[in-house]
């Protein structure tokens, strides 16, 4: 059985009329060929010549305790790339409970997912990220699939997972502002930017930076025009109620101090877990 790429909630007006049935993809219950094709961005003929199609295979790794927006925010944007296959993968294929307590059903297990995707995305979390970093099978999966992927990326503390798998050594990278300072423990070069692209690694800062991360990837794969369309379709135009409050350099110092005090045990545990379980550079 075939399914249409889940672009229906994101498509430009009348786009499916142009595409017809050309975007039929394997159903969630059947794994695609486990070798990703080289992406190509072909313009749609006719009335949408500036809208391009591609063939990216994108895997988003989810694990118990992952932060949902780190995975599902980018998923919304990336799945807007027509022709791309965006799929969720977990260790055993069972429903995965996110950090806030609801479950997400993956498409693939470690053993059934494509082994050479176009892109592997790793979301962050807190205690769940610690558990994932301490799990050898998880690190081996990230190392093997992320190392074979054309590009590997992360959002928030997901960069610690990428790094613990040996995938960030010598790369510029970012993370949540409270854990960015741990990146040298995995051989990465901490960079105070919202999104960092260094060769075939792309990392996003904390939580909401996943949307910027995904839009930059759309720009990378499909160009400026397509990325502008996704930004507008998502109505991504942040107007925070406390301007400057989302950056520790400009936020209320008392708030920064409180959050640092509250989360210091977690940051210390991250450092300890990396030291105990991180794999050597790939």
H or E element: which one contains 203?
Answer: strand 201-204
Total count of domains within the chain: 1
Query: What residue numbers bound the domain in which 122 lies?
Result: 2-277
Q: Which two tokens stand for residue 168?
A: 């960030």
Half-sphere exposure of 260 (CA within 13 A, CB side): 11
Question: pTM for the full model?
Answer: 0.86
Does any domain span residue 236?
Answer: yes
Helical residues (DSSP H) of the chain, grouped into ranges: 15-19, 68-78, 127-133, 136-148, 158-164, 209-222, 224-233, 253-277
Sequential pLDDT tens for the chain (282 residues): 334 344 444 444 344 333 333 333 333 333 444 444 445 677 776 778 888 889 999 999 999 999 999 999 999 999 999 999 999 999 999 999 999 999 999 999 999 999 999 999 999 999 999 999 999 999 999 999 999 999 999 999 999 999 999 999 999 999 999 999 999 999 999 999 999 999 999 999 999 999 999 999 999 999 999 999 999 999 999 999 999 999 999 999 999 999 999 999 999 999 999 999 999 998
* Burial of residue 64, with CB atoms counted within 10 A of its CB: 0-12 exposed, 13-18 middle, 19 or more buried: middle
Does any domain span residue 282?
Answer: no
Does any domain span residue 272?
Answer: yes
Q: Which residues, including other chains, have CB under 8 Å from residue 22's CB and lie 6 or more apart?
A: none
CATH of the domain at 35: 3.40.50.880
- State whether residue 195 is helix, strand or coil: strand
* Residues recognised as catalytic: 156
């Amino acid at each position: 059985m075939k399914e249409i790429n889940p672009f229906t909630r994101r498509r430009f007006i009348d786009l499916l009329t142009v595409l017809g049935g050309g975007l039929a993809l394997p159903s969630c219950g059947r794994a695609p060929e486990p070798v990703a094709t080289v992406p190509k961005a072909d313009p749609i003929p006719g009335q949408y010549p500036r809208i391009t199609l591609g063939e990216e295979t994108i895997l988003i790794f989810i694990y118990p305790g992952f932060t949902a927006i780190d995975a599902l925010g980018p998923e919304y944007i990336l799945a807007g790339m027509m022709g791309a296959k965006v799929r969720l993968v977990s260790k055993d294929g069972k429903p995965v409970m996110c950090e806030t307590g609801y479950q997400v059903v993956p498409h693939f297990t470690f053993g059934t997912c494509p082994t050479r995707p176009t892109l592997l995305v790793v979301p962050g979390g807190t205690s769940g990220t610690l558990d994932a970093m301490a799990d050898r099978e998880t690190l081996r999966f990230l190392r093997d699939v992320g190392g074979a992927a054309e590009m590997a990326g992360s959002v928030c503390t997901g960069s610690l997972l990428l790094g613990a798998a040996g995938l960030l050594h010598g790369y510029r990278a970012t993370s949540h502002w409270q854990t960015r300072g741990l990146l040298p423990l995995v051989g990465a070069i901490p960079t105070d930017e919202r999104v960092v692209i260094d060769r075939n690694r792309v990392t996003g800062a904390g939580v909401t930076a996943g949307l910027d991360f995904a839009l930059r990837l759309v720009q990378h794969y499909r160009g400026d025009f397509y990325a502008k369309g996704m930004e507008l379709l998502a109505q991504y135009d942040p107007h925070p109620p406390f301007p400057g409050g989302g950056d520790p350099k400009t936020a209320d110092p008392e708030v920064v101090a409180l959050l640092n005090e509250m989360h210091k045990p977690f940051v210390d545990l991250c450092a300890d877990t990396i030291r105990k379980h991180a794999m050597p550079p790939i």
